[in-house]
Structure 1
Amino acid sequence: MDSFLQEVATFKKSWPNVEHIDLVFTDINATPRGKRIPIESLEKLSKGVALPLSTISLDTKGNVVETAGLGEDLGEPDHLCFPITNTLIPTSNPSVGQILLTMTDDNISTPHPLLARTIVENMLDELKERGQYPVIAMELEFYLIDKKRGPNGELQTAVNPSKNIRETETEVYHLDGLDDYAEFLQELNSLAVIQKLNTSGALSESAPGQFEINFNHSENVLKACDDIIFAKRLIRQIANKHGFDATFMAKPFHDQAGSGQHVHISLLNANGRNLFSNLDGSSSELFYQTISAMLAQARGTMALLCPNVNSYRRFIPGAYVPTTANWGENHRGVALRVPISDAKNRRIEHRIAGADVNPYLLVATVLGGVLSSPNYLASQCPPSLNEPAQHLPTRMPEALTALDSSELPEQFSRDFIDLYLACKRSELADFERVVTPLEIDWMLHSA
């Protein structure tokens, strides 16, 4: 832990006004959990900090899902958590810093296998053994919304801070919209630089108050996932400071565009050559094998990419959201898009997940396709925009059933799948027990 102590010393020197540190641990939903400690105690993290194992299996409300088997059945055991290297950074609060933790297994020497981050780490190790090095770039969409709810408790789009009106019209890539929210975006971008998040700018998206943050291509795949955790936290903090709420719900408004999280992936060898391209610049067999694997696994991984009931409300016709396991070149209506690119930057854009996805599970799903590619032939890849293509599950119960019976790469252990299914089935059951206002409006006198 000498490197960690050096990291602490450098941080304290760079940020002398920081008084507290947030210890950030992500559960199965990638929701930040943890505790706040005085900075004087930071060095003690080298010996680990104890958190309950059941923290992995918290639902979206922050409750332990007992059917997952990590709580009372085991006696609520603690496991030691240790800091992740190079994640000690400031927050939007000048007096508070933050650091990511990972939980260890019983023997303390290895990350816990039920952590989504560990799955990604193990996949990267296996790819490295093959001489393959993925490069990824993320795109994250979100809404700024009004803190005040509507008369019936519904969400409301943000009041434009420059025009002082609540916008309702869609203006794709509206540059003036960026100027209207300039103060928010300027503070967000400047703090993202301070936090060393690998962002490349923001643009106005398809709906009022909707934005997309793009991240640069990176060979540091784990950091790219970590950056999403920090970026979401930062966006929420800055939004609150400017009088907004920020939401990463996949579909916060029924009549506006949903929010997605896309990931671009290419694959390099040890010399930096793109393995998705042949030496003559054409697409390689590995490229088509990878597409074949991703398409074959798409149905089974849908529940990992779309973790909530609300996630599936994005999947409506004509919304540039895929409903079948298909692919296409320079086409935004497909599950796997091949952007305009040359031999050097040939890549696949995975477009299924919503903004509410756990970024580690999103990347693990994509890497799972790469790992499985040797099991497929290039000739198995269907033609671009192939019809009919396999339909994706567009309801949560169907997606959970598909995940339960799917054959995913071995890095998704059966223990992890069972844990995930237990958590999500519990959440679905809680949701389905609620009587909604719409049911009452429709059926009070007509049933």
Structure 2
Amino acid sequence: MDTFESEIKNFLQKWPETEFVDLVFTDINATPRGKRIPVNALKKVVNGVPLPVSTITLSNAGSVIEEAGLGEALGEPDHICMPIPGTLTPTANPSVAQLLLSMMDSSGEKPSRLFIRNVLEQILDTLHKDGKYPVIALELEFYLVDKKRAENGLVRPAHNPTKNRQEKDTAVYDIDSLDDYAAFLSDLNTAAQKQDLNTSGALSESAPGQFEINFNHTDDVLKACDQLIFAKRLIRQVAHQHNFDVTFMAKPFAHEAGNGQHIHMSVVDEHGENLFSNSNGDASPLFYQTLAAMIHAIPSSIALLCPNVNSYRRFSLGSYTPTKADWGENHRGVALRIPMSDSSNRRIEHRIAGADVNPYVLASVVLSSVLAAPHFTPEQCPPPLSKNAASIPTRMSDALAELEQGEFGQYLSEEFIHIYSACKQSELTEFETAVTPLEVEWMLHTA
């Protein structure tokens, strides 16, 4: 681990004001968990950090989901979590740095197949051995919102700091909105540069107080997902400094656009040539085979791409969210969009997931279709905008049933699919047993 010790030395030379380091471990929802240590204890991390294996299966509320079988049933055993090289970075707090951890198996010798980042790494290793090198770019949407909730507990739109009123007007790609939030965006951009985040700018999205941050294309898929974890954390930190709250909920407002997390993907060979294009510039057989594999996988992958009950509220006609397992060129209403491009950057934009998705899960699902592509022929790819396209499951219970019947276990590991299904079924059950204000209003005096 001499490389990691050199990383520490170089980091502290660049950021000598660092006093503490957040050791960040992401659970099944990609929520950052972990502990804060003094910076002088950082060198000890080279030997690993013990954390309960049940940390993987924490709910959105932060409780261990016992149904996954990693908690009390096992006696809450620790597994060793190792530092991920290249992830020691500053945060929005000048005195605090951060470092990502990855979990090992019970022997402490191999990466745990329960931890989705390790699963993604194995998918990448398999593709690389086959001479296929995925290139991805991520897009992340979010809302700045008021720190004070509405009386009914729901979120309120952000208070525009320039117009001195709450947001209410929808204006897609509104440049003036960027000016209104210039101080927040400037601080966010500065902090992103300090972290060396591979971002290409922010823009106003299609709802009041909604923004999108785009990441540049990269063939370092793991780093792209790591950076999205840090970007979400950074956006929250900077938003709080400007007296905003922020949400990555898929559908925080019933009558406004949801938050998406789109991923663009192409595949190149060892020389950087795009395998989705033939030498004459036309789409290659692999391109159509990958599309066919992706479309086939959509029904069984929805539960992975839409991890929460709120995720399914995002799907609706007329809101630029897909409702069918289809594809199309230069069309934002489909599940798989082929953006305008030449042969060298031909790519597929996967548009299903909301901003609440775990980025490692998202990348694993998308790249598993490249693994599966040889099992399909180009002729199995349906025509674009097919009227016979299957509907996307829009209820969490239906999506979980599809996941259990699907074949993702052979790509994402059966161990991970098992704990994921158990966790999400538990969360769904808890949600469905809650009594909501709406049903009380409807039924109190009419039932």
**For the residues of structure 2 that align with 1:62 and 1:167, how far apart are their CA atoms?**
31
Partner residue, 2:147: 147
Query: Aligned pair 1:67/2:67, yes or no?
Result: yes
Partner residue, 1:434: 434
Partner residue, 2:368: 368
Query: Aligned pair 1:183/2:155, yes or no?
Result: no
Q: What SS does structure 2 have at the residue aligned with 1:212?
A: strand
Offset from partner CA, 1:346-389 (integer Å, 9 cap, x none): 00000000000000000000001111000000001000101120
Quote how far apart the aligned CAs of 1:111 are.
1.4
Q: What SS does structure 2 have at the residue aligned with 1:168?
A: coil
Partner residue, 1:280: 280
Quote how far apart the aligned CAs of 1:408 are.
2.2
The one-letter code matched in structure 1 to 2:352 is: I
Partner residue, 1:162: 162
> Is 113-122 or 410-419 further displaced after alignment?
410-419
Q: Say whether the 8 Å CA contact 2:159–2:165 is kept in structure 1.
A: yes
Quote how far apart the aligned CAs of 1:153 are.
2.0
Offset from partner CA, 1:140-188 (integer Å, 9 cap, x none): 0000000011122221000100000112121000000000000000000
Q: What SS does structure 1 have at the residue aligned with 2:411?
A: coil
Query: Aligned pair 1:290/2:296, yes or no?
Result: no
**For the residues of structure 2 that align with 1:57 and 1:174, how far apart are their CA atoms?**
40
How does 1:47-446 map onto structure 2 within 5 Å? 47-408=47-408, 410-446=410-446
**For the residues of structure 1 that align with 2:397 and 2:182, how far apart are their CA atoms?**
41
Q: Say whether the 8 Å CA contact 1:82–1:103 is kept in structure 2.
A: yes
Offset from partner CA, 1:407-434 (integer Å, 9 cap, x none): 1261322221110011001111111111
Q: Say whether the 8 Å CA contact 2:408–2:417 is kept in structure 1.
A: no
Offset from partner CA, 1:265-318 (integer Å, 9 cap, x none): 000001110000000000000000000000000000000000000000001111
Q: What SS does structure 2 have at the residue aligned with 1:344?
A: helix
How does 1:8-27 map onto structure 2 within 5 Å? 8-27=8-27
**For the residues of structure 2 that align with 1:153 and 1:416, how far apart are their CA atoms?**
34
**For the residues of structure 2 that align with 1:411 and 1:320, how far apart are their CA atoms?**
29
Offset from partner CA, 1:48-102 (integer Å, 9 cap, x none): 1100000011111110011101011111110111100000000000100000000
Q: What SS does structure 1 have at the residue aligned with 2:55?
A: helix
Partner residue, 2:41: 41
TM-score, normalised with respect to structure 2: 0.99
The one-letter code matched in structure 1 to 2:200 is: S
The one-letter code matched in structure 2 to 1:19 is: E
Quote how far apart the aligned CAs of 1:110 are.
2.0
The one-letter code matched in structure 2 to 1:158 is: A
Q: RMSD in angstroms over aligned alpha carbons?
A: 0.7
**For the residues of structure 2 that align with 1:56 and 1:421, how far apart are their CA atoms?**
13
**For the residues of structure 1 that align with 2:274 and 2:265, how far apart are their CA atoms?**
11
TM-score, normalised with respect to structure 1: 0.99
Q: Say whether the 8 Å CA contact 1:104–1:111 is kept in structure 2.
A: yes
Identity of aligned residues (%): 60
> Is 149-158 or 435-444 further displaced after alignment?
149-158
Q: Say whether the 8 Å CA contact 1:282–1:343 is kept in structure 2.
A: yes
**For the residues of structure 1 that align with 2:271 and 2:154, how far apart are their CA atoms?**
53
The one-letter code matched in structure 2 to 1:326 is: D
Q: Say whether the 8 Å CA contact 1:21–1:39 is kept in structure 2.
A: yes
**For the residues of structure 2 that align with 1:398 and 1:212, how far apart are their CA atoms?**
30
**For the residues of structure 2 that align with 1:6 and 1:180, how far apart are their CA atoms?**
42
The one-letter code matched in structure 2 to 1:370 is: V
The one-letter code matched in structure 1 to 2:430 is: D
Q: Say whether the 8 Å CA contact 1:372–1:409 is kept in structure 2.
A: no
Q: Give the count of matched residue pairs.
A: 447
Q: What SS does structure 2 have at the residue aligned with 1:134?
A: strand
**For the residues of structure 1 that align with 2:438 and 2:143, how far apart are their CA atoms?**
24
> Is 46-55 or 405-414 further displaced after alignment?
405-414
**For the residues of structure 2 that align with 1:429 and 1:247, how far apart are their CA atoms?**
24
Partner residue, 1:4: 4
Q: Say whether the 8 Å CA contact 1:87–1:100 is kept in structure 2.
A: yes
The one-letter code matched in structure 1 to 2:331 is: H
**For the residues of structure 2 that align with 1:413 and 1:118, how far apart are their CA atoms?**
10
Q: What SS does structure 2 have at the residue aligned with 1:142?
A: strand
Gaps of 5+ in 2: none
The one-letter code matched in structure 2 to 1:147 is: K
**For the residues of structure 1 that align with 2:445 and 2:360, how far apart are their CA atoms?**
47
Q: Say whether the 8 Å CA contact 1:80–1:108 is kept in structure 2.
A: yes
Q: Say whether the 8 Å CA contact 1:368–1:409 is kept in structure 2.
A: no
The one-letter code matched in structure 2 to 1:41 is: A
